[in-house]
Amino acid sequence: MQTITHPIRQLALVVAGFVVAVVLLESQGLASWADHLDIGPLRTVAVPVTGAIKKALDPIGIGAVREHALQALARVGWSDDAALLADASGNARSSSPKPAECVLPALSNAPNAASIPGSKPGTATSAVHPSIPGTTGTFSNAVGSQTPLLASLPRTTTLAPLPPIAPGKPRVVALAGDSMMAVGLSATLLRQAAGNKDLRVIRAFRSGTGLARPEVFNWMDEYPAMIGAEKPDVVIVAIGANDGQGFVVDGKVLPYGSEGWQKVYQDRLASYLAMVSSSGARVVWVGLPPMRIPVYNQKIAAINRIAYTVVSQSPQATWWNPDSYVGDDSGGFREFETLPNGQSMRLRATDGIHLSDEGAGLLTNVLMKWLDPPPPPSVASVGAPAPAVGVAERPAKPKRRVRHPSKG
């Protein structure tokens, strides 16, 4: 075959042509990429540079062509982005449930204010939670009041029984969240619910998302689009693993853990909770399990406290601690578990973050009993609410205690 030779000059010209054309065609994409970067030096440089390029090239109109192309692709079913699809079909928000305007009850007795590692202690100035915005598509950016974080997480939680379902009408359950729901939990629960005519499970989760960066993935748009016209009776949420990062609000960088960050994140979490429970759904907010890397675990513990503080104010929602199922005796990270029957299992994925299918199964077994309780033994109790499901469902651990490596 003919060998085609090119000197460096030709390579330089090709690269120059490439760079100029990419900047022209992708100025909007580059600006969007810069916006999505984690807070840090790269973003600090990239945002103004790409922003200036975009501003200079906007008059050409290529960005508008790009948007039209994306809309057209969504219309023919090319895109799997629920919000984009909804926008393209023109019914984006018409059928979406709008979160009700609600004021969460005040916390009467918050022993300790927030204390996220590396941040100033929270100054609890008001016990009244800010109102939840009444429209979808927006997170609250208010940096005004803040509910003081509750001091400690409950180790055990009881899930109050659900009302019985009407005959022939399945209970609609939405699974929502990020990869903490997508990996392990959702697949295990979906498999357990497959073929169960009393349950209909909706997928409303997406990996690599969170509540901290709505400019990257806006759950206030995406969740309504994902559930469409459905009105879930129960929403199971597992989210927050990607939220240990700073963000920008009104041009101001709020580093992770700072007072402003906590307030905004708390508001965003509250907005999300109000949205998912707006159809009257009962919400089970599965807390994040202990993580293997200590620094990351500290962040996750702080996010759990914020979630618990917000969730515990809602009468419809329950924050559920997974530690007693997948953690060690002191609530720390645990990779393997040996059940009393001698069966050994891996509780966590090899990344030390997500749950394994078997680990998730310890949680979903409890959830399934709660969602679809076994029929009562006697005819007399038909229609009666199922008993509460709590930590007692967890298989007891063997008595033998083994020293934790980190404790020497």
Under the rule (CB under 8 A), what is the footprint of another protein?
1-8, 10-11, 13-22, 24-26, 29-30, 33, 42, 66, 69-70, 73, 76-81, 186-187, 190-191, 194-195, 208, 292, 328, 333-336, 338, 342-344, 346, 350-352, 357, 397-398, 400-405
CA–CA gap between residue 297 and residue 241 (Å, rounded): 10
- Least distance in angstroms from the C-beta of 226 to another protein: 14
Which residue, 344 or 378, is less far from another protein as judged by CB? 344
Q: In sequence order, which residues have a C-beta less than 8 Å from that of residue 134 and are 6 or more positions away?
A: 98, 99, 100, 101
Which residue, 7 or 374, is less far from another protein as judged by CB? 7
CA–CA gap between residue 354 and residue 175 (Å, rounded): 16
Q: In sequence order, which residues have a C-beta less than 8 Å from that of residue 377 and are 6 or more positions away?
A: none
Which residue, 21 or 64, is less far from another protein as judged by CB? 21
383's tokens? 């229609």
- Least distance in angstroms from the C-beta of 354 to another protein: 12
Which residue, 58 or 328, is less far from another protein as judged by CB? 328
Which residue, 379 or 396, is less far from another protein as judged by CB? 396
Which residue, 89 or 126, is less far from another protein as judged by CB? 89
258's tokens? 């700072």
> What are the residues facing 203 on neighbouring strands?
175
CA distances from 130 to 74, 134, 137 (A): 36, 12, 18
Which residue, 169 or 404, is less far from another protein as judged by CB? 404
Identity of the residue numbered 186: S
- Least distance in angstroms from the C-beta of 330 to another protein: 11
- Least distance in angstroms from the C-beta of 47 to another protein: 13
Q: Which of 313, 390, 392 is nearest to 102 (CA)?
A: 313
| Alpha-helical runs (H) found in 37-101 | 41-57, 62-75, 82-88
Which residue, 307 or 367, is less far from another protein as judged by CB? 367
- Least distance in angstroms from the C-beta of 73 to another protein: 7
CA–CA gap between residue 373 and residue 385 (Å, rounded): 9
CA–CA gap between residue 104 and residue 123 (Å, rounded): 19
- Least distance in angstroms from the C-beta of 214 to another protein: 14
- Least distance in angstroms from the C-beta of 11 to another protein: 6
10's tokens? 């030709």
Per-residue H/E/C for 332-395: CECCEEECCCCCEEECECCCCCCECHHHHHHHHHHHHHHHCCCCCCCHHHCCCCCCCECHHHCC
Residue 355's φ and ψ, nearest 5 degrees, are -85, 145
Instruction: Using DSSP, state whether 101 is helix, strand or coil.
Output: coil
- Least distance in angstroms from the C-beta of 137 to another protein: 17
Q: Tell the residue number behind the tokens 């393209």, with chain if given.
A: 88
- Least distance in angstroms from the C-beta of 380 to another protein: 34
Which residue, 230 or 335, is less far from another protein as judged by CB? 335
Which residue, 41 or 383, is less far from another protein as judged by CB? 41
- Least distance in angstroms from the C-beta of 117 to another protein: 20
Which residue, 252 or 403, is less far from another protein as judged by CB? 403
Q: Quick one: CA torsion of 307, 309, 315, 321, rounded to 10 degrees?
A: 60
- Least distance in angstroms from the C-beta of 39 to another protein: 15
Instruction: Let me know the angle formed at the C-alpha of 192 by 286 and 228, rounded to the nearest 5 degrees.
Output: 65
CA–CA gap between residue 16 and residue 291 (Å, rounded): 46
Structural Rg of the chain based on CA atoms? 24
Q: In sequence order, which residues have a C-beta less than 8 Å from that of residue 12 and are 6 or more positions away?
A: none
